[in-house]
């Protein structure tokens, strides 16, 4: 839905150029680890949080998230969604809910990953709402099916399975349908 990756953008936001350089270097090295399946996406985020923001308090990180949310640009297609009309719209994201919630009208329900410190003062991402975790988060709220799923990722296949229709968002255009196998071919 956004014009660029929001996770890397969050880490880089309002940081000094030298810290941005090292953040990018570590971000992409860890991303290679994700591609090689040496670590998962949750571990990727936790490593970055602890390496570069370990000394931040929860309040300081929350403030960074609120400030960052003001800079996020949406893709133009999102303007076609009637966010304030019934039925309730849900945004389920692997991004941190603290920077996603301010982006939408108050009546839009947002479920996202949460960043908190554990008893050892290490950042943890729990829950990390990605893939099947999105379905589980909705199930906890009594939601087991829905009308339309907008996605840009094959990782949302568990959500697509439970929807009546899907819209797959690509930078070069969108496609939509109702058949899950068709979704998997296009994703």
Instruction: Please report the pLDDT score of residue 28 as a whole number.
Output: 95
Note whether 125 and 115 are within 8 A (CB): yes
What are 18's two structure tokens?
A: 């030298």
The rounded average pLDDT for each run of 10 residues, N- to C-terminus, in the chain (187 residues) is: 69 93 96 96 95 94 90 70 75 88 85 94 94 92 88 90 88 82 88
Residue 142 confidence (pLDDT): 92
User: Tokens representing 78?
Assistant: 């999102």
DSSP string, 22-75: HHHHHHHHHHHHHHTTSS-HHHHHHHHHHHHHTT--HHHHHHHHHHHHTT--B-
108 φ, ψ (degrees, to nearest 5): -85, 125
Query: Can you give the pLDDT at residue 5?
Result: 64
pLDDT at 76: 65
| Nearest-angstrom CA–CA distance, 72 and 104 | 11
DSSP label at residue 88: P
What are the CA-CA distances from residue 144 to residues 61, 67, 138, 182 (Å)? 33, 34, 7, 21
Q: Give the single-character DSSP code of 89.
A: P
Query: Which residues is 177 bridged to in the sheet?
Result: 166
Per-residue model confidence (pLDDT) at position 3? 46
Nearest to 84 by CA among 70, 58, 104: 104
């Amino acid at each position: 839905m956004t014009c660029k990756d929001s996770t890397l953008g969050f880490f880089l936001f309002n940081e000094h150029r030298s810290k941005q350089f090292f953040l990018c270097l570590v971000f992409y090295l860890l991303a290679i680890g994700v591609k090689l399946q040496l670590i998962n996406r949750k571990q990727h985020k936790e490593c970055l949080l602890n390496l570069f923001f370990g000394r931040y308090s929860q309040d300081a990180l929350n403030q960074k998230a609120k400030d960052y949310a003001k800079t996020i640009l949406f893709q133009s297609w999102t303007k076609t969604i009637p966010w304030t009309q019934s039925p309730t719209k849900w945004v389920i994201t692997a991004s941190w809910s603290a920077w996603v919630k301010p982006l939408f009208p108050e009546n839009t329900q947002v479920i996202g990953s949460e960043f908190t410190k554990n008893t050892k003062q290490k950042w943890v991402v729990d829950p990390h709402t990605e893939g099947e975790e999105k379905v589980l988060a909705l199930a906890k709220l009594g939601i087991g099916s829905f009308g339309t799923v907008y996605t840009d990722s094959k990782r949302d296949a568990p959500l697509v399975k439970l929807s009546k229709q899907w819209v797959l968002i690509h930078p070069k255009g969108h496609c939509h349908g109702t058949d899950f196998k068709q979704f998997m071919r296009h994703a």
